[in-house]
Structure 1
Amino acid sequence: MNRGTALLATVLRAGRGRLLPTLLLAAAALLLQHIEQTPLQTLQASQFDRYQRLAPRPRDAEPVIVVAIDSQSLATHGQWPWPRDLIARLLERIQGGQPLAVGLDFVFAERDQQAPALIAERLPPAAGALLRQLPDPDATLAARLAVAPTTLAVVGLARQLPGARLPVHPLPALQLPLTVDRALPQFSSALASRPELQAAAAGEGFINATPGAPGEHGERSILRRVPTLAMIRDQPYLSLPLEMVRQALGAGAVVAEPGSAGMQAIRIGDYRLPTQANGELLLHFGKASASYYLSAADVLAGKYPPATFADRFVIVGFNSIGLQDRVVSPLGDSLPGVDVHAQVIESLLAGTALRRPAWLPLLETGALLAGGLLLIAAVPALRPRYAVFSFSLLGLLMVGGGYAAFLAGRWLFDGASVTLLLGPVFMALLGNTLIAADARRRAAERHLQRSREEAARVAGELDAARRIQMGLLPDPGQRFAGESRFAVGALLEPALAVGGDYYDCFMLDRQRLCIAIGDVSGKGVPASLFMAISKTLGSTLLRRHGDLAAAVRDIEGELSRENPAFLFVTAFIGILDVDRGTLDYACAGHDAPLLRRAGRVARIDTAAVAGPPLCALGDYPYATARLQLQAGDLLCLFTDGVSEAGSGDALFGGERLATCLAALPEAAPDALCRAIRDKVREFEAGAAPADDLTLLLLRWDGA
């Protein structure tokens, strides 16, 4: 081994082979957090484009019509710009069909150069006087703009330029939090249409776009982001297509929903689109189609009836290569810029957009760190071929997870970059694994085998204990099959493999039903053993005694006789006369049951007879009380695994249980038990249960 190879081996094996991979993982995480400044940004953008090519947005409905100033129109009516009175005639044709809104995707920043007054200035005074009597084309266009909701285009400018003019139709009554205001695009000036046209139009929307960096698609730039809201001289304005929707809704309210770093969505009326923090929309493109394009020349010639434009959004814009208003979409289509406006309107009406909120890059970093730590922990213990398989599987999960997230909710998760950045980490680990040789691998396998055997042994013993414990509990459905006077349902779910809760239900004779529920202090194996003793003693002594209070005192005496761990039990025991509906009960430190009667739920008053938990004081004179049930009454016994179930900052509580019980429909007690259990688990929101959950429901149906 030469000096270079020895040095490489030393670096790879430093820190037991984990130092270099850990440093590479930290560098990868830092690189991923600043991916916009690295060549990986191109890879990320290309991956997101592949998502869209895999599942482009369907364009079944066509709410937008584009009246295109195309080559045919230019050949018929002359080069651009057209006279304003010609554009007014075009609008008149469109407005005859009563469209929802009309948008003009160009700016009338200067006077019509073919205006009679301008031509008159270049003619002798006598001829000029006649021309000045002709209608002003700008006034003709302004009159036409006022007929229907029309939106003019505005171009935001980063600095003041000659001929610049500010728009005059900002969004009314839009309250922006400071975080949103700072994140939005800011323009110090703008290029807007002439004042008389501004005054006649219903609104103004900007048409600035956000193309990707040059070189992402050959020498062209790909349009992926579209601004939705911007500030022009500290006044808020919507983009042209969104302002058209607002006008169609009757100038409906606009809400910029704030997020942690800026905006998270924009809402116009009942329509909502998720956005980036700076208000940009990650547009989900659909396949281009010529079906909704109409030539302006054909519209002017009257080839389309007015009904063509009824209840549609109409955008007048360019569709001519000579006018240079084209972009490249992530689908690879070369589109006129006006098509982007149409797709924004379609996306808003469908509520569909790509999603990459501020937390998603953090999730990618977390996935990178988790995957890297998993590799650092697992690869040194694996054979090389298994290590390669594991990394391939991890990469497949990362990349496949990105596709799955896109198909499921249009989330842009960059699994490809995560997998690529995990490559150096894996190579360093694999090199160390090869250098470490078979000795470390065999030792790790022996240790892993011992760990697995021990875990399997413990798991097997606990599983056997769980089966035995659950076997001690009765099945009310089988025990009382065919019973018409009452119905019992019960459910027990230990927090651990075994638990300390129990329930019991059995007939003392043909007329008397005994029900009991208990909760042993502590958890795990000790509590489960004491639970088995408590349940067995209770079942035996309750059958032996005719007096419930005496039976409870005997149970406590027997449990206290041999109790070196000083465990105690809370319990509620009741004996129901199933013919008369009288319930005699005793309470030993347990939560009072709930009674549902005629749709109302109340807690049984056990204060007069409640005593301490069994084995807590010793030789306590427990007493009993009686409750008269009515036909249809439902009694709910529960342990603190229900009332003390937590969601992190609150407990389920008795009041919530009472509300839940009152809201449940009439059903068999076992079904009600499962419904209450589901409500408790839903409240816990996936958190691990803190205690055993036990429910026993008794419904008395009458003699």
Structure 2
Amino acid sequence: MSRATAVIAALLRAGRGRLLPSLLLGVGALLLSHIERTPLHALQLNQFDRYQRLLPRERPSEPVIIVGIDSQSLLAHGQWPWPRDLLGRLLESIQAGDPLAVGFDFIFAEADQHAPALLARRLPGIDPALLDRLPDPDQQFAAVIGRAPTVLATVGLPQALAGARLPRHPLPQIAVEPGADRQLPRFASALASRPELQAAAGGEGFINATPDARNGGHDRGILRRVPTLALIDEQPYLSLPLEMVRQALGGGAVAIEAGGKGMAALRLGDYRLPTQANGELLLHFGRASSHYYLSAADVLAGKHPPETFAGRLVIVGFNSIGLQDRIITPLGDSLPGADVHVQVIESLLAGDALRRPDWMPMLELAALLAGGLLLIGSVPALRPRYAVLGFAAVGGSLLLASHLAYFSGRWLVDGNTPALLLGPVFMALLGNTLIRADERRQAAERQLQASREQAARIAGELDSARRIQMGLLPDPERLFADETRFALAAILEPAQAVGGDYYDCFMLDARRLCIAIGDVSGKGVPASLFMAISKTLGNTLTRRHDDLGAAIRDLEHELDRNNTALLFVTAFIAILDADDGRLDYVCAGHDAPLLKRNGELQPLPTAEISGPPLCALGDYPYASGSIRLQAGDLLCLFTDGVSEATRDGQLFGHAGLEACLARTPETEPGTVCRQIRDSVRQFEAGEPAADDLTLLVLRWNGPRLSGC
């Protein structure tokens, strides 16, 4: 280990692996507390924008119409600024529809170029009498403005500039709760319209916006918040869209609710709009729409009936490249500035605004500290894989909670930044966990080496046991190679190294053949030992008794004598008279063998004489049954390793075995055994065998011909 690696390991191990993570958690808390001064603020804003892209505000209605000074209008009526009489005609066309209120999204700061005073200055030789007969365009426009609720725009200025002019229509009635105005934006001066137009207007609203340009890069200029209330020369003014709504409501009072550090909400009549402490509205943007945009040229040409404006709020603004101020929204849309006023009005009417109260950063800080302390307390005690899952659970919970907060109540909760700041804490904890895991691995390798040696000894012993067990089983094809009266074959494949199935076949005398098949409960070494005892006792006792039933009863008595493991055996034992085909048999809880005769399949009739498995009840009076085979009959004995073979929860079953036997030609028993075995393995589709597989197939050829 190098010196640098040793130092890193020492840092990770310090304080039982918790000192460095605790320091990193403190640094993360400090960064989160001053996030607006770090690059993390851009990530936070991007997360809030992503919320809006996931769930923008629905826009079921269109209460606002924008009459745009667009390229078509400039082409039809000349370049901007237009004469006041043309704007008067435009306003008259709108007023004919009886709108709720009309707002102008630009300022009439200068006199009309066709005013008599300006004409006299520009044309010194003009007849004064002629000038006296000319009407003042601003006075005419003011007269039109005064006919219906109209709101003019103003721009707050931090200091007085040349041409500055204060607005004249502060809020006449405003109820401010104590402390609600502490953080409101204040402007020393303003740029407003001409006095005669101000006097005719119903109200004035400022159009200052607050694009978030505090961070560089691709976030620059994205408009996320707009002011709702500001003090101009210490007089309260609403923003242009909110002042339009106030005029539409009859110019009523405005109420300001106080929050922890300033404003909490603004009330206009029955409408309530949540705000930030400084009075800014966190806009919940809806998808851009062009349905509510009308060309000023079309309005002047009378292409839109007056009813279009009935009961609507109308904003007259720019919608031409080169004139309009375009903004970028969190949804990625590039919109005219007038569209922001529409979004504000819709948000007020729907009471829908994003919420990020002044206590939200403290909540996020608490979540960071709680998550960090949880990791510091739990990760050192967990294995690496569970530690990773724990970190994923903590980070995922923060992200899920932040998304649920937005979807349920439009709360802007930053779950990404705390999750990101928990990353270094977790990496330090994981480093210590991996170091300890490596130490455990080295110890485990030493233990593994010792266990491998032991396992090799055990494997050798099991292999010896398998050879011994398989050596106990006779080889029917070799044992009866010269027999002409019958043919016999068997297969046994244990599911493990050793198994609990067995089969047996031997001649009791010159004409009687004994065959047996059994299945011991359980698997492995205990079952194999009990299997060896069962086979040996069965072989001995069937030779000793003339009555097969008595032999089986004696076999059960001997097996059950010292059966402390409470094992039991299912068995089928039969004696065939090879000369005349008589088959005597006893069934102890085993599946009935299948008899194939002349191509037809039927189970051997065992229902009347079948008893329970050996050692299941004890002292059961087993009886024998009898059937006479015909020449060419094929008898198939099997264990449940065949019938209960499984694949995807389905059993091979008796139906599968019968189908296999049915399509197998009547040929040598050895071939039949192998075909059944191959069908079972193919059905299992390579899955490990669930149980031992044992087959014994007997074909009786008939009595030995004379002379043979």
- 1:261 is the counterpart of 2:267: no
> Is residue 168–residue 198 contact of structure 1 (8 Å, CA) maintained in 2?
yes
2:278 aligned partner:
278
Q: Which residue of 2 aligns with 1:77?
A: 77
Partners of 1:280 and 1:72 lie apart in 2 by 35
1:215–1:221 Cα contact (<8 Å) kept: no
Per-residue deviation at 1:120? 2.1
Q: Does 1:152 align with 2:152?
A: yes
Task: Tell me the equivalent position of 1:22.
Answer: 22
Instruction: Figure out how many residues of one structure are paired with residues of the other and give that number.
Output: 443
* Matches of 2:224 and 2:50, distance apart in 1: 12
Aligned to 2:460: none
Match of 1:109 in 2: 109
> Secondary structure of the equivalent of 2:353?
coil
How far 1:126 sits from its partner (Å)?
Answer: 4.4
| Alignment of 1:232 onto 2:232 | yes
Q: Following TM superposition, by how much is the alpha carbon of 1:57 offset from its aligned partner in structure 2, in angstroms?
A: 0.6
Shift of 1:128: 4.2
What's 2:119 paired with?
Answer: 119
| One-letter amino acid matched to 1:204 | E
Using the alignment, how far apart are the partners of 1:31 and 1:368 within structure 2?
11
Alpha-carbon distance, 1:101 to partner: 0.7
In the other structure, the counterpart of 2:318 is 318
Residue 182 of structure 2 aligns with an amino acid whose one-letter code is: R
The one-letter amino acid of 1:427's match is: M
CA–CA distance in structure 2, aligned partners of residues 67 and 205 of structure 1: 18
1:50 is matched with 50
Instruction: Report the RMSD for the aligned CA atoms in angstroms.
Output: 1.9
How far does the alpha carbon of each residue in 1:212-236 deviate from its partner, in whole angstroms, 9 at most, with x for none? Answer: 1276663851100010001111111
Query: For 1:179, what is the secondary structure of its paired residue?
Result: coil
CA distance in 1, matches of 2:177, 2:110: 36
8 Å contact from structure 1 (residues 266, 274) kept in 2 = yes
Partner SS, residue 121 of structure 1: helix
The SS at the match of 1:358 is coil
Structure 1, unaligned runs of 5 or more = 443-703
Distance 2:35 2:43 in 1: 10
Contact 1:120 1:132 in 2 (8 A): no
Deviation at 1:438, TM superposition (A): 7.0
Question: Which residue of structure 2 lines up, in the alignment, with residue 399 of structure 1?
Answer: 399
Structure 1 counterpart of 2:305, one-letter code: P
1:132 shift after superposition: 3.4
Contact 2:42 2:215 in 1 (8 A): no
Deviation of 1:375 after TM superposition, in Å, equals 0.7
Q: 1:169 to 1:441 in 2, by over 3 A?
A: farther
> Which structure has the larger Rg?
2
* Number of the residue aligned with 1:618: none
Do the aligned residues in 2 keep the contact of 1:220 with 1:328 (CA within 8 Å)? no
2:244 maps to 1:244: yes
SS of the residue 2:332 aligns to: coil
User: Which residue does the alignment assign to 1:614?
Assistant: none
1:137 maps to 137
Return the alpha-carbon distance in structure 2 between the equivalents of residues 128 and 259 of structure 1.
Answer: 62
Aligned to 2:169: 169
Task: Please give the alpha-carbon distance, in whole angstroms, between the structure 1 residues aligned to 2:411 and 2:220.
Answer: 26
Q: State the shift of 1:371 in Å.
A: 0.7
Partner of 1:195: 195
Report if the CA contact (8 A) 1:380-1:441 is conserved: no
CA distance in 2, matches of 1:193, 1:18: 66
Q: Which amino acid is the alignment partner of residue 315 of structure 2?
A: I
Contact 2:212 2:219 in 1 (8 A): no
**Is the CA contact (8 Å cut-off) linking 1:117 and 1:132 kept in structure 2?**
no
Please report the TM-score for the alignment, with normalisation by the length of structure 1.
0.61
How big is the shift at 1:18?
1.1
Say if 2:212 and 2:220, in contact at 8 Å, map to a contact too.
no
| C-alpha distance in 2 between matches for 1:429 and 1:273 | 46
Is the CA contact (8 Å cut-off) linking 1:64 and 1:342 kept in structure 2?
yes
Residues in 2 aligned to 1:159 and 1:208: alpha-carbon distance in whole angstroms: 14
Deviates more, 1:121-130 or 1:340-349: 121-130
The answer for the alignment partner of 1:381 in structure 2 is: 381
The answer as to 2:434 corresponding to 1:434 is yes
Change in 2 beyond 3 A, CA 1:222/1:441 = farther
- Contact 2:173–2:252 (8 Å) recurs in 1: no
Residue 2 (structure 2) aligns with: 2
Structure-2 change in CA distance of 1:441 and 1:403 (3 Å)? farther
Specify the alignment match of 2:210 in structure 1.
210
Compute the displacement of 1:179 (Å).
Answer: 2.9
**Cα deviation per residue 1:84-114 (whole Å; 9 max; x = unaligned)?**
1111111100011110111100011111122
Matched AA of 2:292: Y
Maintained 8 Å contact 2:178/2:258? no
- The Cα shift of 1:29 comes to 1.2
Contact 2:283 2:354 in 1 (8 A): yes
| Cα distance, 1:132–1:216 mapped onto 2, change above 3 Å | farther
Q: How does 1:279-428 map to 2 (within 5 A)?
A: 279-428=279-428
1:60 alignment partner AA: P
Equivalent residues of 2:98, 2:310 under 8 A apart? yes
* Pairwise CA distance, 1:388: 1.0
Identical counterparts, % of pairs: 70
- 1:471-500 CA distances to partner (integer Å, 9 max, x unpaired)? xxxxxxxxxxxxxxxxxxxxxxxxxxxxxx
Equivalent-residue separation in structure 2 for 1:389 and 1:243 (angstroms): 54
Distance across 2 between alignment mates of 1:321 and 1:388: 53
Q: 1:441 to 1:262 in 2, by over 3 A?
A: farther
Please give the TM-score of this superposition, normalised by the length of structure 2.
0.61
Work out the CA distance in 2 between the residues paired with 1:39 and 1:300.
Answer: 50
Letter in 1 for 2:171: L
Is this contact kept in 2: 1:99–1:313, CA < 8 A? Answer: yes
The separation in 2 between residues aligned to 1:135 and 1:221, in whole angstroms, is: 44
CA distance in 2, matches of 1:349, 1:268: 10
Equivalence for 2:96? 96
**Cα displacement (A) at 1:202:** 0.4
SS at match of 1:181: coil
> For residues 165 and 52 of structure 1, do their structure 2 counterparts lie closer, same or farther at Cα, with a shift above 3 Å needed?
same
- What do residues 396-430 of structure 1 show as CA deviations (whole Å, max 9, x unaligned)? 22112221111111110111111111111111111
For 2:81 and 2:188, the matched residues in 1 are separated by: 27
Amino acid at match of 2:359: W
- For structure 2, list consecutive stretches of 5 or more residues without a partner in the other structure: 443-708
